[in-house]
Every structure is written in C-alpha cells, then in structure tokens.
Chains A and B, each alone.
Chain A
Amino acid sequence: MTNPPPLCALLACSLLIASCKPPQDVEAISESREISSHAPQPHADIASATRFFDDGKDEEPARRPSFRELLTWTIPAGWSEAATPDNMGMRLLDLRFGPNQEGECYISLMPGPAGGLEANVNRWRTQMGQTPYTAEEIEKLPKKPFFNRDASFVAFDGDFKGFGATEAKTGYRLLGLIHSADQATIFVKLTGPKALVEQNAAAFDAFCQSIKPNLPKQE
C-alpha cells in the first residue's frame, strides 16, 4: 500500500500554488458587454443625495407626544404662560405670575409612578432646603380632590434652589399636588416668594381643580 500522507500533501501544495495568483496593483479591463435596446436610457449627473435616496431631506424627528392634548385647564387671572420654554422640556404648561413674574407654576406629566410619592415629595423638600419626610409623614400628607381622586398636597417654606440653580432663593414657599396612577403621575408645582404664593394659594387650588382630561367632545 502506498503511503498516502506525502502524496496528499504534494497534491495539496501543487494545487495551492497553481491556484494562487496575487492581485496586481494595476489591471487591464478585459470584459465588456452590449446593452440591450430594451434597457432604459441612463441619466447622468445625478447628485449623490438623489442616488442614495437622501435628497437632502433631514429625517423628520420622531414626533414628541403632545401631552398638552391630553389635558385641559383654565389659567387664573393675572397668570400667563412663560415666554421661553423650560430648559429641561419637562413642563407641560409653564405659568408665571406676580409683579415681576417671579412666581412659577407648572404641570408636568411622567409615565408610570415616576419614582413614587415619597421620592418626589422629598425631592421637593430638598429643593426647599428641608429634611426629607419619613414614610409616616408622607402617609399623613393632606389630600385634595384631583381628577375625581385624592391627590397628595404639600406646602413647604424654605430657601428654594431649583434644578440647575447655583444659588437658593430665600423666603420662598412651595405648593404642590401629586397625583399618581399606574399609567402616569401628574405634578402641579408652584413656587415663589412666600407672600406672593399665599396671595395666589386660592388661584392655585382653582387652577388644580380646572385641570381635567381632554375627553373627545360628544357629537
């Protein structure tokens, strides 16, 4: 019997050498074909954007859900919408009041429980320079009717240092209403100098009561 491995190796090596043809840096084009008379006439000078189905159009950004369409409200007399949008883009409705527009009130809506009542109340407490509430204190928070259900109401005095602010504003008061459901959590938050806030406390309550779901109108 012949020993196969050396022969196999020889066969393999010879085939390998024969099949190897290193590519050249410059190669002549040797192939051509006739184009059918049925083929469409070509177009020249088509811009890259058109060739790549881009056409210079920017992709439309995904439509941000318009929460404003979900609710209706009545703005209290003397209050007005802020002229500039908030930096965070979180405010569904951003209102100002007071002689120098120093009072702020806004609605924000977040999906789901949004971290829970305790975390949100204590976040506001911290913004006012106050120590966080315990779970028991959270439980004892007063309730106000909101959306036909009870919402937790908070009112703190302190030095207000909002998100991103470098310095706290002294002598401020915060009023807040938090209504949480499985689907979403709605916040109404008012801040301003204490005297101004107290003057507008009734307006705040009326504003909160005016917030309702934007149900489709019955024909």
Chain B
Amino acid sequence: MSSPSQPPSPLAKVIAFLSSYGLATAVLLMLLILTFLGTLEQAEHGLVASQARYFESAFIDRIDIGACWRALALNAYKDIGNVELPLYIVPGGYTLMAVLFVNLLIGGIIRIRKSPKTIGVIISHFAILFMIAAGAVTHHFAKEGNMTLREGETKDEFVSFHDRVIEIEKLQKDPKAKRSVLVIDESRFRDVTTPGQGRTFTHESLPFDLVITGWKKNARPKRATEPGRRDEVDGYYIQEISNLDETGAAMADEQLASACIAIAKSKSGGPVQNGILWEMAAAPWTVTAGEDKYLISLTHRTYKLPFAVRLDHTEEEKHPGTERARRFSSNVTKLSDGHEEKRLITMNEPVRSQGYAVFQSTFSSGENDGSGGVKSSGFMIVENPADHWPLISCIIVAEGLLLHFLMMLARFIKVNPWSFSLGLIVVFNAAFALAMWKLL
C-alpha cells in the first residue's frame, strides 16, 4: 500500500474506484432503471427482445419511450406516438453485471472486514458472486429448446426456441449416406433489412455464393398478384406482419416467423437463382448446381443430444368433469450406446441425464393437428452447466446470513457464539432437510 505521504498510484486509484461503494451504488441504480424500462418495453417488444436489449447487451442502443409510455397507460392522457431515444454508450445489463462482479470481488478481497465475527457476511458476499457467475455461465453456455415426438418416434435432436440459422444441405444421392449441413447464424444476416442491401456467404464446398437480403423478423410470403413487383421472387413477395397478436400483446419470439430473400450466384457463371426463405415453410428451397441439388432453409438452430429418446406412450389426465389438463405424462425409452432405459417424464418431474433436463411441456391428442389421431408430446430440453448454481448460491447466502445473525444474537445474549450458532444451524438444516424430504 502507498504510504500516507505519497499520492496513490494510478493502479491503486483504479482498484479503489472499482471496489468503491459509489460504483456499486451507481451500478445497482442503473440495473434498477434497466429492469424498470425492460419490463415496460416487454409489453410491446416481447420478452426475448427486451431481454436482449436491456439485460444481455453490452450497451443499450435505444430506449423506446413510446412503448414505455403506453405500458404505463400514460397514453390515456396524452398520446406521444412512437418516440425512440437513440443511445450509444449507455451500458447494458451484461456490462453492468460484469462491473458489479468486479466491484464485489475486489471489494470482498480488499474492503470487507475479515474476522471470525464477519464470517457469515463473507460467505454471503462470495455466494452472491457465485450467483452472478451462474448468470454468466447460463447466458453463454446454456441451451434450451423443444423436441416434439409422436408415439413411436425417436429423435436425438432438439431445436432452439429463439436462435435462428440458415442451413445449407447438399442432397445425397445415397439415402443412407451421412448428412451434414453448413450453418449461418442469424446474427450474421439479421441486419440486412434494407432493400438492395445484402451479404454474401461463401464456402469452398459450395458451387455458388449465397446472398441474403431483405430479412424481416416476422413475415409471410404472399402471392404477388400485381404484375411487375420489384420484390417478387417466384411469384411471391415477403409481406412484413405485426409482432402483436389480435389482443395487441407482443407475441412470443418463437411464434414469429422470419423470412428473407436468398440469391444463389453460381461460381462458374451459371444462372442466378432466387428464392424466399421462410421459417414456417413446409420444405426447403432447392438450388440446382449442375447435377447436384442443395436444400436451403431458414430454421431454428438444431442441437444434438448425446442420447436418443423414443416416445412409447403419452397420456393426458384431466380434472374430473372439465377439459382442463391435470397431468401430462410420457413413457419414453432413452437410447444410448445400444442400451435402452425406460423412463417416465411428467409435468415438473423432468428426466435428467448427461447434463440435460427433459421436461414435459405440451401434449397433443392428434385429433386436430392432422396427424391422424397419433398422440404426441412436446418436451422442453435444457442443457445448462449452471443449472443448480443459483439454488446453491441462494442456500449459501441464506446460511451465511443465518450464521451472521446467530452470532450477533449469541453475543447479545452472552453465550459462546460458535457453539450456539453452529449448533442451531445444524438443527435448522436438519429440520429443513426433513421438511423437503417429506414434501418431495
């Protein structure tokens, strides 16, 4: 440390700033504001878009003042229309949480009083750091999606709820040949929204370059009835549609159907082929290059499971005398390396295996979905390395604060703080464990 007579070094100044209470207060205040604005905007922009803009972003690019205004129902007094506040260097939730993590870490190491008396506070402090780390791990590494299985069907892949990609597959002449696709993530083409603006994607195995243009977040192909439309592709054009449902509420991201125009430009000077890629399309767009055919689709990102799941039987129980679902359950077989394992999945009772949790999410009797009465189940699949970290950190925070409280109480009533506190914590934990065991 610097001596009192010497001015603090620049490094000491930085460390002092990063561990300061002032910074913690400012960050927490900004997080409060972000939470407030993000919650308001969610009403019109939907959960995923608001999360991405406010809580997962390094910086906030704009605030939709009009949407916030309407969410507060202030338009009943004055309608301000669509007003947006452009921003450039206002930190988003990701940056703020990173700064908070650094602040708490350095503050915990440097500032916090370290003595047997403060052991509970120290435990709780670092448990909060663990919780922030859990959020970061979840944000970067967690995958979640959906897998729908009809009775008798087997799958070992699931599709993301929100992440979209363009996939290019070369059609194999041998139906038993190994298949693979080239993948272009949505982040690489979702900014090509302006007509005439496009981005070219190339790969050495492709006989053409793929140009993506005119991307729209929620759209549908519409038959071009007017002659000479400039945006017509194969008799259709992309019509943008509202992200709001008939009640005016924002539709969930997974309900939106994005679309774009794809242009295949032959590398050998062959003809240019144009097609519309639509997320809800019944089949991929086919590009022909000589003898070969390539299937191109805009779809949700597909993830591979380390095991396969076969749906043997699914059942829906209803509340007596009503059409309200009481319980969905699925008898499945987990297929892994030649081994078969029978498992039961019910609502709120997932099957966990190899880091994946498989939840029962939907059920269909097959009577109204064109599947000819074959029952099906929808499973939500989550792979999150930090699955239980928030629970663990909450328990540690609670234990730390309980320890701190009991030690303060022991000193007040003048008994041995260690034996009193630890003894009671053991009793509390045993009681809690017993209660959980009985409840679960």
Interface residues of A (CB under 8 A from B): 1-2, 4, 7-9, 11-13, 15-16, 19, 23-29, 31-36, 38-39, 41-46, 48-54
> In the bound complex, do residue B236 and residue A46 qualify as a contact, i.e. CB atoms below 8 Å apart?
no
Contact with A along B368-391 (1 / 0, CB 8 A): 000000000000000000000000
Determine which of B171, B175, B183 lies in contact with A31 in the assembled complex, contact meaning CB atoms within 8 Å: B183
> In the bound complex, do residue A35 and residue B179 qualify as a contact, i.e. CB atoms below 8 Å apart?
yes
> In the bound complex, do residue B184 and residue A16 qualify as a contact, i.e. CB atoms below 8 Å apart?
no
- Whether a CB of chain A sits under 8 angstroms from the CB of B308 is yes
> In the bound complex, do residue B184 and residue A13 qualify as a contact, i.e. CB atoms below 8 Å apart?
no
28 contacts between A and B (CB under 8 A): A1-B20, A2-B13, A4-B22, A4-B26, A7-B17, A9-B89, A12-B91, A13-B89, A15-B59, A23-B188, A23-B199, A26-B201, A29-B183, A29-B184, A29-B201, A31-B184, A32-B180, A33-B304, A35-B179, A43-B283, A45-B293, A46-B282, A46-B284, A50-B283, A51-B278, A51-B282, A52-B221, A52-B276
Contact with A along B167-188 (1 / 0, CB 8 A): 0110100010011111111001
Chain A residue contacts of B209, Cβ below 8 A? 26
B interface, over-half SS: strand
Chain B residue contacts of A7, Cβ below 8 A? 14, 17
Known contacts: A32-B182, A42-B295, A46-B286. The answer to whether A19 contacts B157 by CB under 8 A is: no
CA distance A174 to B23 in the complex (A): 91
Contact with A along B293-318 (1 / 0, CB 8 A): 10100000010100010000000000
Chain B residue contacts of A15, Cβ below 8 A? 58-59, 91, 95
- Whether a CB of chain A sits under 8 angstroms from the CB of B420 is no
> In the bound complex, do residue B293 and residue A44 qualify as a contact, i.e. CB atoms below 8 Å apart?
yes
Q: Closest approach, in angstroms, between the C-beta of A26 and any C-beta of chain B? A: 5
B interface bracket (residues with beta carbon within 8 Å of A) = 35 or more
Q: In the complex, which of the residues A15, A29, A36 has the most CB atoms of chain B within 10 Å of its own CB atom?
A: A29
Q: Closest approach, in angstroms, between the C-beta of B209 and any C-beta of chain A? A: 8
Chain B residue contacts of A1, Cβ below 8 A? 16, 20, 22
CA distance A16 to B295 in the complex (A): 38
Chain A residue contacts of B178, Cβ below 8 A? 34
- Whether a CB of chain A sits under 8 angstroms from the CB of B281 is yes
A-facing residues in B152-209 (Cβ within 8 Å): 154-157, 168-169, 171, 175, 178-185, 188, 191, 199-203, 206, 209
Q: A25-B199, A38-B156, A39-B155 are in contact. List 19 more A-B contacts (CB 8 A).
A: A2-B13, A12-B89, A19-B58, A26-B209, A27-B199, A27-B202, A31-B182, A31-B185, A32-B182, A32-B183, A35-B179, A38-B308, A39-B179, A48-B221, A48-B234, A48-B236, A48-B275, A50-B283, A51-B283
Chain B residue contacts of A19, Cβ below 8 A? 58-59
Determine which of B171, B181, B285, B308 lies in contact with A51 in the assembled complex, contact meaning CB atoms within 8 Å: B285
CA distance A53 to B278 in the complex (A): 11
Contact with A along B324-368 (1 / 0, CB 8 A): 000000000000000000000000000000000000000000000
- Whether a CB of chain A sits under 8 angstroms from the CB of B88 is yes
Contact with A along B75-95 (1 / 0, CB 8 A): 000000000000011010001
- Whether a CB of chain A sits under 8 angstroms from the CB of B235 is yes
Q: Which residue of B lies closest to A12 (CB)?
A: B89
Chain B residue contacts of A8, Cβ below 8 A? 26
CA distance A51 to B298 in the complex (A): 12
Chain B residue contacts of A45, Cβ below 8 A? 286, 293
> In the bound complex, do residue B181 and residue A36 qualify as a contact, i.e. CB atoms below 8 Å apart?
no
Q: Closest approach, in angstroms, between the C-beta of A148 and any C-beta of chain B? A: 43
- Whether a CB of chain A sits under 8 angstroms from the CB of B223 is yes
Q: In the complex, which of the residues A1, A36, A41 has the most CB atoms of chain B within 10 Å of its own CB atom?
A: A36
Chain B residue contacts of A52, Cβ below 8 A? 220-221, 236, 276, 278, 281-282
CA distance A62 to B155 in the complex (A): 42
